Amino acid sequence: MSALPWVAIFLAAPATWVSAFRWLSLALLVCGYGAALANGQLGFEALMPLALLLAAACAVPQERKAWLRFGGHALFIVLAVALSMHWLPGFHNARVIGPERFTPDAVPFTMYLNLDKPLVGFWLLLVLPWVRPRHTAGASLKAGIGGMFATAAACLIVAWSIGLVAWAPKWPAASWLFLLNNLLLVSFAEEAFFRGYLQGGLGRLLGARPSGKVLALVIAAALFGLAHVSGGWQWVVVGSIAGIGYGLAYRHGGLQASVLAHFGLNAMHFFLFTYPMLQRAAT
């Protein structure tokens, strides 16, 4: 029997982590990573970050001493960055698209089914339930759809105006794979970390004052923009604007709403505009 299911079981052991959503996350984690291990997509080295994630999970509960909680959160942040940047060995992420130009004027696009980055989102859902504040389904849907259209309009207009993208409607053959990957392995993981953990955590630290909530939203949005710095200053600007939109969706509709807004913007970008960007903007 592989070690990954046992890690997942340990993460989900406390009785306070038995909500249906967290059990669903646990089931997906066990099935997906168990299959990846059986298929050779995970190496023995991947057990080290999994063990460290387990150690961080044991350190962060509220009843622990302050220094231990601080250390657990610091360890998680380091692991989250390393997993998101694909710096850790043992994860053999499969390339499923590209390099491919979806339009003649676009930068070639390559997509991998990443096994490392989603661990950040799973850890947060299983270990820190407060990253997913409770909202009614109606409130989440309203905030998610509203955030999706408002954020997409703002970001895509800015991206078009500064020459990052052009109008380019299309339906590539691998569209379904892109959508699944973007929802489950990109939007979910990024929103769990930037909105659920950073914005939600900063909001808790800064208190219930409205100014504290606003500051938490702005800081998380700015960090989200900086996470796109490899694409140039233009993507930092667009990413920061997107972070504000996703942050508002999160504030009014929770994690589900921000994931919906994020996924919707990415889908509109993919199907209606140059993806990922114009070649001339990259040079």
Q: Which tokens go with 102?
A: 């979806």
- Dump pLDDT digits (tens) for 12-49: 333 343 456 667 767 777 787 888 888 888 988 998 99
Average of pLDDT values for 240-250? 98
- Check: CB of residue 33 under 8 Å from CB of residue 126: no
Core vs surface per residue 203-216: b (16+ CB within 10 A) or e = beeeeeeeeebeeb
| 93-107, 198-212, 244-258, range with the lowest pLDDT | 198-212
- Dump pLDDT digits (tens) for 144-170: 999 999 999 999 999 999 999 999 999
- pLDDT at position 20 is 64
d(CA 252, CA 104): 40
> Which residue has tokens 């490392």?
116
d(CA 73, CA 125): 14
Burial class (CB in 10 A: 0-12, 13-18, 19+), 2: middle
Among 75, 77, 84, residue whose Cα is nearest residue 117 = 84
Going by pLDDT thresholds of 50, 70 and 90, the confidence category of residue 262 is: very high
- Calculate what percentage of the chain has a pLDDT beyond 90: 75
- Dump pLDDT digits (tens) for 169-224: 999 999 999 999 999 889 999 999 999 999 999 999 887 677 889 999 999 999 99
Say which residues have a Cβ less than 8 Å from residue 113's Cβ, sequence separation at least 6.
Answer: 93, 94, 96, 181, 185
- Check: CB of residue 85 under 8 Å from CB of residue 93: no
Hey, how many other C-beta atoms are within 10 angstroms of the C-beta on 248?
A: 20
